Each structure stands twice: as C-alpha cells, then as structure tokens.
Amino acid sequence: MSKYTIKPLSPDELKTYPLHSRKSKVNTKNFASVLAPNKIFSQFVDSLPDILAGKDFKEFISLLGQAKKKNKAIIFALGAHVIKVGLSPVLIDLMREGWITALAFNGAGIIHDFEVAFSGQTSEDVELQLKDGRFGMARETAEMLNESINSGMERGLGLGETLGEMVSASDFPYKQMSLLAVAYDLNIPVTVHVAIGTDTIHFHPKTRGDVLGELSLKDFFLLCALLEKLEGGGIFMNIGSAVVLPEVFLKALSFVRNRGQTLEDFTTAVFDFIHHYRPHHNVVKRPHGKKGKGFYFIGHHELLIPLLAASLKSL
C-alpha cells in the first residue's frame, strides 16, 4: 500500500462529448491529391543542383529505387503531424505501389488516423478546448480506440494490427483515408509505440495501462523483426517524430545487433520542418556501419512528402 497521503484521481466521472460536435481544424476536403505517374517529373529531379540538399535528394531517390527493385524493407516511421497536414492519400498511394513495406506510428498517430476515418476531420483547437477542460474529451475517439486495444490483448495482437482490423471492418465513411485500415488490407505491418500519458485517450475510463504496455511492447519486437530486413540496402525514414520514434528506432537497432544480426548496409532519412537533436543523432548519424548512410531533409511535410512521392513515381 502506498504511503503517500495524496491519492491519484479517477477518470470515472470524466465529461465527454460526441466527436461530430467538435470543431476540428483539418478536414479531408483539404487533403492532398494523388499525382498520376509522370516520367517527365524525373527531369525535374535530375535538374536539381548536385550541391547540398539537391545532391542528397537525388541520391536518396536512387537508393529508394534500388531498395524497391531488390525487395528490401522500406519503413516509414510517422509522427502524427504527417496525418494532420493531409498526407494520408499520398502515403496510401505509395503503399499500394509497393514503396512502403511497413509503418511505425507514435500514439498520437492512431488518434488522428481514427478521427479521419470516423468523421473526416481531426485536429481540435487545443488552446480553445483546454480552457474549460474539453481538450481530448471526444467520446468516440477514446471509447472505440480503447475498446479495440483491449480486445487486441485478448487475441494476442499488437496495437497496429488490432486497430487496423477494427477500422478496416468498420462502416466508417472515410476509412479509405485511414493508413491503419489500408495497411491492414494490404498486409503491411503497422507498429504503434506509445508513451503513456502523452495521448488524450489515456485519461479515459476504458484505458488500461497494462494493455497499452503489453501491446506496444509486442509492436516494439515486431519492429525489431522488420529492422532485420533492412540489411542489404533497405530504407528507414523518420518523418515528423522528434523524440519517440527516433528513440524507439535506436533501441530496436541495438536489440537486433545484440542477437547477432548483421545490420550495417542500409539507409536512413529524416524529413522534418526543423532540425532536431534526436532524429539527427539517432536516425541519421549513429546507426550506420561502413556501408550505410543517413540523410536529413528540412522543409514542410506538406511540400516534401508529395515531392518525394512524385519523384518515386517518376522512376
């Protein structure tokens, strides 16, 4: 029994509201469109200067093309901001075209992906909602995600798989925009890496810390298995995660090497709108052996990722 005189609060009397009643800042009507394959676009890529980021980008596109031809792993690790700026259609198209073999999310990513699928909108006004304690109180987001997560525990699934299955089997009107659902349908593994207390669904009554921990740990070891497939020219990209996914990646890499697996010849890249310490050191600088290489591309996701996709589809 705890000796503390102050006791933890209970979520049992939490006041929630329907997700559809909340004003959101992001709507699927404003999402990116998918660009048709255009070989002429490769001329634009070729026209970039062979200096600094221009040279790096051309080299990275070439390495991605080689990885796809050799059937090597191409893993996209996504921060939630990537979904919030309307890039799901672009990423889904890349999945269908074979440019993504696995996805890794942080905990916020599953929230925004679910809300997009369920209601066609996401991203509440945090400053406004926080004033009266309404931030994070959308009922369906917390209840349905937690119910799915808890059921995954009973069936021995990881977070990514149980949530992908739930959205895929649902009648949500926008589920074709869900990375989780489309990945599940395409048999593309999704891992979800949760830091408890960082996401709004964690303070709702149906949240079970033991289940979140168990399923997220299962996904960690699944990510380790996916990293083994990087050797020989695979690609790992960290797009928009400043802390959680770079830290998870580094620990998973150490675990794989500790088991005796050779993991030296692969490429990493970071795409983000500012330069962060952990992505630079954990993804770009520290991981590589003599054959590997890391890249860091700075710019807005809503510009860089469509540019990346168009470049790949022009190969």
Tokens matching residue 130: 């926080």
For 138, residues 6+ apart whose C-beta sits below 8 A from its C-beta are: 16, 17, 18, 19, 22, 115, 124, 200
State the Cα angle at 8 between 12 and 219, rounded to 5°.
75
Predicted confidence at residue 40, as pLDDT, reads: 85
Roughly what angle, to the nearest 10 degrees, separates helices 88-96 and 301-313? 20
Residue 21 lies in a domain: no
Contact call for residues 78 and 270 (beta carbons, < 8 A): no
Distance CA 152, CA 148 (A): 6
Residue 34 lies in a domain: no
Residue 25 lies in a domain: no
Provide the domain count of the chain: 1
* Three-state secondary-structure class, residue 50: coil
Residue 200 lies in a domain: yes
Residue 135 lies in a domain: yes
The structure tokens 């119910």 sit at 147
Residue 191 lies in a domain: yes
CA dihedral 112, 299, 63, 100 (to 10 degrees): 10
**Residue 86 is part of a domain; what is its CATH number?**
3.40.910.10
Tokens matching residue 208: 């079970």
For 41, residues 6+ apart whose C-beta sits below 8 A from its C-beta are: 310, 311, 313, 314
Residue 14 lies in a domain: no
Predicted confidence at residue 147, as pLDDT, reads: 97
The structure tokens 């991981």 sit at 287
Nearest to 95 by CA among 33, 184, 26, 170: 184
CB neighbours (10 Å) of residue 28?
18
The radius of gyration computed from the CA coordinates of the chain, to the nearest angstrom, equals 20
Nearest to 178 by CA among 159, 164, 193: 164
Per-residue model confidence as pLDDT tens for the chain (315 residues): 899 999 999 999 999 999 999 999 999 999 999 988 888 889 999 999 999 999 999 999 999 999 999 999 999 999 999 999 999 999 999 999 999 999 999 999 999 999 999 999 999 999 999 999 999 999 999 999 999 999 999 999 999 999 999 999 999 999 999 999 999 999 999 999 999 999 999 999 999 999 999 999 999 999 999 999 999 999 999 999 999 999 999 999 999 999 999 999 999 999 999 999 999 999 999 999 788 999 999 999 999 999 999 999 999
Predicted confidence at residue 290, as pLDDT, reads: 81
| Domain span including residue 58 | 52-313
Predicted confidence at residue 308, as pLDDT, reads: 97
Residue 13 lies in a domain: no
Contact call for residues 135 and 126 (beta carbons, < 8 A): yes
Distance CA 20, CA 41 (A): 40
